[in-house]
């Protein structure tokens, strides 16, 4: 039986971590889509992975900035950030084999959210979210039925072309949008775990996404606006209080949508994980420092939209979000 073809689409920080682990584990038929100096470095001298526990370098036999040069892929691990996804929808759709699956390892609310959504015990399938998929390019071309959701508890950063540094903690959560226990989701969990990326199969991926938002929604925006590490923000009583208030508004919004995060033991685990990231730079801060568009809509914009739908007050988000959108506009220019 031929081994499945696996493509890492968008080998930035998280994607490079995943690629390095899969290649080191000897997983066959792995290709990487990257760009610029990082791609050139991987082609020339491979991909270097560093953490407090280990350092290794792997060759990257197939690395390109042109997805059309690759054959159809059985699994596409999408690690592009949310702002870049709509423009990549066509390339993603062409890359996927007819029975292929794309697992989206994203921060925040994902574009596929309305697919397989349960309301009142019934399974429904709404349409795309305008803030995240404004022209429905992902919904129409990729299609949520060919999609798996993912949550990443794994801080990483590209510190120089061809070198990814991994911080504390290393956990991935993968699940079907409709909460099913499918062979494709279970297969990816087993693949990640065997390659040194402990993964869990979720039958409630939306709750897992909300739990991660308790960390990401306050942490990323405040890091981007202040350029301070988590340790430095925690040492400032006013910033720490601001972060707690944003997290509280996220929890209130989730509860209004039927996700009571206080009932989950993982909420404490997730917040504890956040505290271990003291010196790491959140992804949105990395984007600001490199002059890239930010994940403002998936982390805060869509949360505010849901809050307004359900008449949930979000006074802190209502102040932070316009400022963050202004920062994002300046970076896009």
> Within a 10 A sphere around the Cβ of 19, how many other Cβ atoms?
29
Tokens of 193: 């775990």
Q: Are 107 and 220 in contact (CB under 8 A)?
A: yes
CA atoms within 13 A on the CB side of 97: 14
Residues β-bridged to residue 60: none
Give one DSSP letter per residue of 102-147, joined into a string.
EEEE-SSS-TTTTTTEEETTEEE-----TTTSTT-HIIIII-GGGE
φ and ψ of 166, to 5 deg: -105, 130
> Within a 10 A sphere around the Cβ of 302, how many other Cβ atoms?
23
305 vs 20: CA distance, rounded Å: 37
CA atoms within 13 A on the CB side of 212: 23
HEC sequence for 17-83: HHHHHHHHCCCCCEEEECCHHHHHHHHHHCEEEECCCCEEEECCCCEECCHHHCCCEEEEEECCCHH
Percent helix / strand / coil, the chain, rounded to 5: 50, 20, 35
Q: Where does residue 131 rank: exposed (0-12), middle (13-18), buried (19+ CB within 10 A)?
A: middle
Give one DSSP letter per residue of 163-196, joined into a string.
EEEE-S--EEEEE-TT----HHHHHHHHHHHHTT
Non-local (6+) Cβ contacts of 188 within 8 A are 75, 101, 103, 148, 174, 199
Active-site positions read 212
């Amino acid at each position: 039986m031929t081994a499945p073809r696996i493509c890492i689409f968008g080998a930035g920080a998280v994607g490079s971590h995943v690629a390095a682990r899969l290649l080191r584990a000897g997983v066959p038929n792995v290709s990487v889509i990257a760009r610029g100096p990082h791609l050139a470095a991987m082609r020339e001298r491979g991909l270097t992975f560093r953490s407090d526990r280990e350092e290794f370098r792997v060759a990257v036999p197939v690395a390109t900035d042109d997805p059309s040069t690759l054959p159809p892929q059985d699994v596409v691990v999408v690690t592009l950030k949310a702002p870049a996804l709509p423009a990549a929808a066509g390339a993603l759709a062409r890359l996927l084999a007819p029975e292929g699956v794309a697992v989206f390892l994203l921060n925040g609310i994902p574009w596929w959210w309305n697919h397989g959504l349960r309301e009142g015990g019934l399974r429904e399938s709404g349409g795309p979210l305008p803030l995240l998929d404004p022209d429905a390019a992902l919904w129409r071309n990729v299609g949520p039925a060919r999609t798996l959701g993912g949550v990443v508890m794994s801080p990483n950063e590209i510190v120089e072309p061809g070198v990814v540094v991994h911080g504390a903690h290393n956990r991935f959560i993968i699940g079907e949008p409709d909460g099913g226990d499918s062979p494709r989701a279970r297969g990816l969990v087993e693949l990640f775990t065997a390659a040194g990326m402990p993964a869990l199969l979720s039958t409630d991926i939306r709750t897992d996404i909300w739990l991660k938002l308790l960390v990401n929604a306050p942490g990323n925006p405040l890091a981007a606006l202040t350029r301070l590490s988590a340790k430095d923000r925690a040492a400032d009583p006013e910033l720490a209080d601001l972060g707690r208030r944003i997290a509280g508004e996220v929890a209130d919004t989730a509860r209004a949508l039927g996700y009571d995060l206080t009932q989950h033991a993982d909420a404490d685990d997730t917040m504890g994980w956040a505290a271990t990231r003291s010196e790491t730079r959140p992804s949105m801060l990395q984007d600001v420092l490199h002059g890239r568009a930010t994940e403002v809509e998936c982390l805060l914009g869509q949360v505010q939209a849901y809050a307004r739908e359900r008449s949930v007050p979000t006074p802190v988000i209502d102040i932070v979000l316009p400022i963050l959108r202004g920062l994002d506009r300046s970076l896009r220019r």
